[in-house]
Chains A and B, each alone.
Chain A
């Protein structure tokens, strides 16, 4: 099993006619994901890589029966793209777009709260259930099917972690990139719960970074609800205080958000915290033996 997506998930691509949208639609198809349609207003009737393009999410849903949508539109259109998915009851929405204004996300969160939809992102790499489906921008070939669940706030750092797992023969059940923005649809605790409940996930890797309070909430949650071994890496130990490191989420707002503090809080919750991404496989193996 896997969480959130599998070989049956039918995906539409919003922004499929753009450079990134078309490239990654093809990559997803090649991986085996059921990419059933694309949406670009005004370009309905066209085809991209053999995928039919529709004018609206409504039309795409009626014609394809999709149950997931992935968004590659520019930042200023991202809010409307997400709201359109929510209005049409798309159960799983993945927003890859970065640079979405925070107040746009406040609106999206309200719409989400009144719906049964789940949002991953924005500013995220998406998610993959290796061997089954990938929705997002991660390179498929570095993954391998298996029983380690990976959840992360970062994109490329997640690939680094997965690369090391696969190199040591440790496959993944699912890998979820939550996104680096201050307001995101799905947080560590949500995914930790799913991995805890997934019988095919035996251990969990959590990749965090400086800034915000999500790792602290995750630590509390792990202490109370997670019985599977958790290994964590926290990026940003050498980041200077108060400096933005690209992510809005990666701002050191208070002493409680430093990498060292987060590492300690996670250790106190029973998590194995390692210093270098390539130390994760060994730490997992040790955790699984216990």
Chain B
């Protein structure tokens, strides 16, 4: 789960990672009040969960109150990649002497936590990683949840010639690691990590991503979710144990398993149709899930047909069949249902559906072809 810069910055403050003085504001008046405390110049930054806000004009350094008010209003009126700006971070502008990069993340292939550091920080870090991979330091923790300072010391020395900065950067890294582990993050990043006019290290930006699988342990993190970035149907689906993503087409899809759900979307596309959604009913589905899935899909008025593609493993086909039969009794389904069921308890499922007058398919290609035909 992604969070806003100001939320990540609050976490930095909580863990003692130095940041520029400031706060988040949703009105020009609030922004002025913050700037009066920090003193000018200040930097104002649009708080959006999409990249490229700088290029979209969402970041600006302002020197006076009048400029702050006009620029605040301008940025707040921006639409950045389809998202309006609700809040801006207002922080004292840092006199940047040098930019570094520091992040903690997980290397999935190695299955280990890795610290990524570079003396070439800033917006071009990804470019640097491609053109000068030697300038990017990767330091693996080796499966432990702490930093071996003796092993890290030569790396710190490689990044900073000044012993004082070697020490303070290591102390900040320790705090970043503590945050990373305690909050179950998949990323904690400072970019740029800068030396300011006083010669001290400070985080000029803050980025934190939480591990979705660990959110159950952290109600505080769930509370940080910005609902504006969540589709209401997608959220409701998640609450009901379904995984749903709305797309542009008109073939509603209900599938078990993410891989087959993607495969079904691809098949619809390949056979000349357009999938209306990704929907994975998940494993060990109870009949209730099918009812909920149908309800969510039917809210999309573009739907011309619903394709149910189930390959039973941990999901039992008869559970799905019962769910379909319950749904038919409880809700009006104004579009044709194309049902493909095979796998665990397939016979029981087909008997249930056949006795209710429904046709089922065994072949995925046949079912998808039939569904696409219904949209023409």
| Interface residues of A, Cβ cutoff 8 Å to B | 19-20, 24, 27, 75-76, 96, 98-103, 105-107, 109-111, 113, 125, 137-139, 142, 152-160, 163, 180, 182-183, 187, 207, 209-210, 212-214, 217, 233, 235-240, 243-250, 259, 275-278
Contact = CB atoms under 8 A, between A and B. Distances in A.
Nearest to A247: B258
Interface in B197-246: 211-214, 216-217, 243, 245
9 contacts: A103-B211, A109-B112, A139-B343, A139-B346, A160-B364, A237-B269, A244-B245, A245-B278, A278-B363
B230 to A, nearest CB: 12
Contacts of A20: 283-284, 314
A49 B32 CA distance: 71
Given A237-B269, A238-B275, A248-B212, A103 B181 contact: yes
B280 interface: yes
A290 B342 CA distance: 34
- Residue from B181, B259, B346 having most chain A Cβ neighbours under 10 A: B259
B108 A156 contact: no
B245 A245 contact: yes
A239 B365 contact: no
A209 B259 contact: yes
Contact of B266 (A103, A236, A248): A236
A142 B343 CA distance: 7
A93 to B, nearest CB: 14
A117 B250 CA distance: 48
B77 interface: no
A223 to B, nearest CB: 18
Contacts, number: 171
Contact of A239 (B257, B278, B342): B278
Given A102-B211, A152-B259, A160 B311 contact: yes
Nearest to B244: A246
Contacts of A243: 245, 278
Given A101-B213, A156-B311, A239-B278, 11 more contacts: A101-B217, A103-B145, A110-B144, A125-B314, A138-B313, A156-B255, A156-B259, A182-B106, A235-B260, A238-B269, A245-B278
Main SS at interface, chain B: mixed
Nearest to A161: B263
Nearest to B215: A101
Contact of B261 (A152, A163, A237, A246): A246
Contacts of B256: 156
B261 A100 contact: no
B189 interface: no
Given A105-B111, A138-B313, A238-B266, A245 B213 contact: no
